[in-house]
Amino acid sequence: MAQPKIEALAIHPDRAAAEELDARDPLAFTRARFSVPEGVVYLDGNSLGALPTGVRAAVLDAVSRQWGQDLIGSWNGNGWWTLPERVGDRIGALVGAAPGQVICGDSTSVQLFQALTAAARLRPDRRVLLTDASNFPTDQYLADAVARLLGLEVRRVDPAGLKVGADVAVVALSAVDYRTGELWDVEAITRQAHAAGAVVVWDLCHAAGVLPVDLDGVGADAAVGCTYKYLNGGPGSPAWLYLPHRHQPVADLPLTGWMGRADPFGLAGAYEPAEGVARARIGTPPVLSMVAVEAALDVWDGVDPAAVRAKSLALGDLLITLADGLRTDGVTVVTPREGRRRGSHVSLRHEKAYELCQALIARGVVGDFRAPDLLRLGLAPLYLSYADVWDAMRALAEILATKEHEAPRFRRDQTAVVT
């Protein structure tokens, strides 16, 4: 059968140019540190990172030897007890936090609740909590929950026009918009909030592992992030909390579990917080997931974070250039084009974004969909190549040209929703 003529495939640079970029990529060596299925172009690392090759052996050892043979002795003998601080410090190194300020464990929701409540209690004379009106739903729900608990007023704002009044206790924002990939100026917003006397809580779920965040340098008051996106810790892997040294002695955390007590094995009836960031421990950490996260962080050995950011931007530039060739097919780029305003995913708008996403997945190009009309394509520099991006956009061009996405099997009422 003759192949259809597809004008949209006359896109530049061509694949040879993409291959040349791969040949000169200083991060090309890191792709071998991941298990990406053959024939798959994975553009959903902003939802769930790919499997690092070292994780399987680490988890197997934790199950078969540490748990299976060493049993309860593993808490000390195999370092289970120190996992939250140990993993926390390794994550801290990726987000500009000196040792002793990051703890890992529990879910993103729990860590957000901890951070928001403790931050608000630092300004007991103020009654307003600002959050992004387009923030991820959990961030908004928890802002409302903390407000009910503490008698605060939540105001939903646009970070682009942020104004912080004298009544604002906390500014709680995500560094990167989860829908559009827009990157906010973390340093400038933190400085503005501090000038008004407020404290700032940053959600770095879409930033940690791909952006050069400097939490200590910008003077952030608290931050949280997950480990299953660009940190590749696996589905449901635990989140982390940043609590700087200057706030640790006075931080009034709402969840006071026994592992965060000064002497947890004293088993006293009254709570006395531990010194340092250990006070942010709550209960028993999810050891198997923590072991996976610790092994996953090995992919950063010998990696220059500046090179990661540079490749992220270059991949995004290529994707946007190729997407511009699809304008006549109803595709528009939603993500800011300027590198300083862009995270590490690019969102494309199309009225049939859901169907396009499903058609791409059927071809082995895995992205995701956000209602009502966004096709979201994540760019994980450690395992994604320039040729991958070119191949993905070629597939999209072919689907649009042949109207493949209009097949009944790709309709939203026929297919499971992409999460």
Q: Which residues are known to be catalytic?
A: 136, 203, 228-229, 376
Which residues share a beta bridge with 242?
Answer: 102, 223
| Axis crossing angle, helix 287-296 with helix 83-94, rounded to the nearest 10 | 30
Query: d(Cα 123, Cα 74) in Å, to the nearest integer?
Result: 41
Would you say 87 and 293 are in contact if contact means Cβ atoms under 8 Å apart? yes
Q: Which residues contact 401 (CB under 8 A, 6 or more apart)?
A: 4, 6, 7, 8, 9, 329
CB half-sphere exposure, 368, CA atoms < 13 A: 16
Which token pair is 83? Answer: 């996992």
Would you say 22 and 28 are in contact if contact means Cβ atoms under 8 Å apart? yes
Query: d(Cα 246, Cα 252) in Å, to the nearest integer?
Result: 13
Tokens 């579990």 belong to residue: 257
